[in-house]
């Protein structure tokens, strides 16, 4: 997989084709796994970390899996940041200073971080609200890997993980939601408080420790011990439709009570994105959020959701520099970002359509 080529395509989770994809950007499940014969990462030697990498590579090869291994330690800082923006590795994985890698599927719906907090962090993502489909895929992948790899497992506790909150199933079930109307109507904090009461975590676009950007929020389970995988998936499957309903009601409220003001907001956002000569990533995310909602409310009819989804990611610093072919200073990125937006929004095409 050539990272430069990825700037001309979109990952499966960005396609905007799954159920409820007007609000649910993607569904994601992550499994934390460790190899039985090695200490946890924070106690493993450099040589042991290299051996863990080798065992994972062998498991992929022997299993005939259509996955490619990338040596994260050998990548440039720009390429590592690119993978973070692509949701394929975490910020912690990017910044570590030991042997580590990432395994990526051809559609980017599968990634496996090797030597992050745990030996393996297996992840599957699909567009829209599709938690059961994600579970079916990741459970099958986990079984295939376990045919070759001996996982650290306790009959009493379940899968053993570096962080106690992951012990048991080692599963993190999550969805990424776009909630601009709840933010604008100031109902978002009420939703967050309700989620916290049932032990669900709310995080920003890039996971733990990040702030919301572009009105995107990741909602996931906080604990795994004592809960089965179907129970945790069911909890999210029951709660997320309620949040979707709240967001849709908030959008209807905005249209009913503030239609002219909302239309003006959306039109101004679209206009700035199409004509700006320089623009920051933060402002871009904010304006794209309004545009995305405007499309779903029928206020914009010449732009597709998949294109907007791509722009959220492709205007981030590392993507932008990869597209431009080299590193850029902050001000240079602002100019290049505006130029890229003008070009992409002049025809409204999805990248896959452009390359067809």
**pLDDT, tens digit, 9 for 90 and up, residues 36-47:** 999 999 999 999
- Residue 60: closest CA among 103, 110, 117: 103
Average pLDDT over residues 192-218: 78
- Residue 109: closest CA among 125, 98, 122, 120: 125
b/e per residue 271-291 (b: at least 16 CB within 10 A):
ebbbebeebbbebbbebbbbb
Q: What is the pLDDT of residues 274-306, one digit of tens each?
A: 999 999 999 999 999 999 999 999 999 999 999
Instruction: Look at residue 211 and give its three-state secondary structure.
Output: coil
Confidence check: pLDDT of 229 > 70: yes
* E strand or H helix that includes residue 216: strand 216-221
Alpha helix (H) ranges present in 198-304? Answer: 229-275, 281-296
Residues ≥6 apart with Cβ < 8 Å to 225: 157, 158, 164, 165, 167, 168
Alpha helix (H) ranges present in 42-149? Answer: 46-62, 77-85, 91-95, 131-146
What is the reported pLDDT for 4? 73
Give the bridge partners for 174, in sequence order: 28, 220
What is the reported pLDDT for 209? 47
- Residue 184: closest CA among 240, 267, 129, 258: 258
What CA–CA distances, in Å, run from 92 to 13, 56, 248, 280, 286?
22, 20, 35, 24, 26
What is the reported pLDDT for 165? 85
Residue with tokens 């402002």: 283
- Domain spans of the chain, in order of start: 258-354
C-alpha–C-alpha distance, residues 174 and 274, integer Å: 33
Q: What is the pLDDT of residues 84-94, one digit of tens each?
A: 999 999 999 99
Confidence check: pLDDT of 225 > 90: no
Which two tokens mark 233?
């998936």
What is the reported pLDDT for 227? 85
Which two tokens mark 249?
């009601």
Q: What is the pLDDT of residues 240-282, one digit of tens each?
A: 999 999 999 999 999 998 899 999 999 999 999 999 999 999 9
Q: What is the CA radius of gyration of the chain?
A: 21
C-alpha–C-alpha distance, residues 172 and 116, integer Å: 15
| pTM, entire model | 0.90
């Amino acid at each position: 997989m050539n990272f430069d080529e990825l700037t001309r395509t979109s990952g499966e989770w960005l396609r905007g084709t799954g159920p409820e994809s007007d609000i649910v950007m993607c569904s994601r499940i992550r499994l934390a796994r460790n190899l039985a014969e090695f200490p946890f990462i924070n106690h493993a030697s450099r040589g042991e970390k290299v051996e863990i990498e080798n065992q994972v590579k062998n498991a992929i090869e022997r299993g005939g899996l259509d996955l490619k291994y990338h040596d994260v330690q050998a990548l440039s800082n720009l390429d590592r940041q690119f993978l973070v923006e692509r949701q394929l590795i975490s910020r912690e994985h990017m910044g570590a200073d030991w042997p580590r890698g990432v395994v990526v599927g051809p559609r980017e719906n599968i990634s496996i971080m090797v030597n992050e907090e745990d030996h393996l962090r297996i992840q599957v993502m699909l567009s829209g609200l599709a938690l059961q489909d994600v579970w079916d895929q990741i459970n099958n992948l986990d079984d295939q890997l376990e045919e070759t790899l001996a996982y650290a497992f306790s009959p009493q506790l379940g899968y053993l993980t570096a962080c106690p909150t992951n012990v048991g199933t080692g599963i993190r079930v999550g969805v990424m939601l776009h909630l601009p109307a709840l933010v604008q109507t100031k109902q978002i904090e009420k939703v967050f408080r309700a989620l916290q009461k049932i032990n669900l975590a709310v995080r920003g676009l890039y996971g733990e420790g990040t702030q919301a950007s572009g009105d995107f929020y990741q909602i996931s389970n906080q604990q795994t011990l004592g809960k089965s995988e179907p129970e945790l998936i069911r909890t999210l499957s029951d709660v997320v439709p309620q949040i979707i309903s709240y967001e849709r009601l908030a959008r209807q409220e905005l249209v009913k009570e503030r239609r002219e003001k909302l239309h003006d907001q959306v039109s101004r956002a679209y206009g700035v994105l199409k004509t700006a000569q320089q623009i920051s990533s933060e402002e871009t995310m904010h304006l794209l959020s309004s545009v995305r909602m405007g499309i779903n409310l029928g206020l914009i009819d010449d732009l597709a959701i998949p294109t907007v989804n791509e722009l959220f990611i492709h205007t981030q610093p590392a993507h932008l520099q990869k597209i431009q072919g080299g590193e850029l200073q902050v001000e240079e990125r602002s100019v290049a970002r505006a130029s890229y937006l003008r070009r992409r929004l002049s025809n409204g095409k999805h990248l896959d359509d452009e390359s067809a």
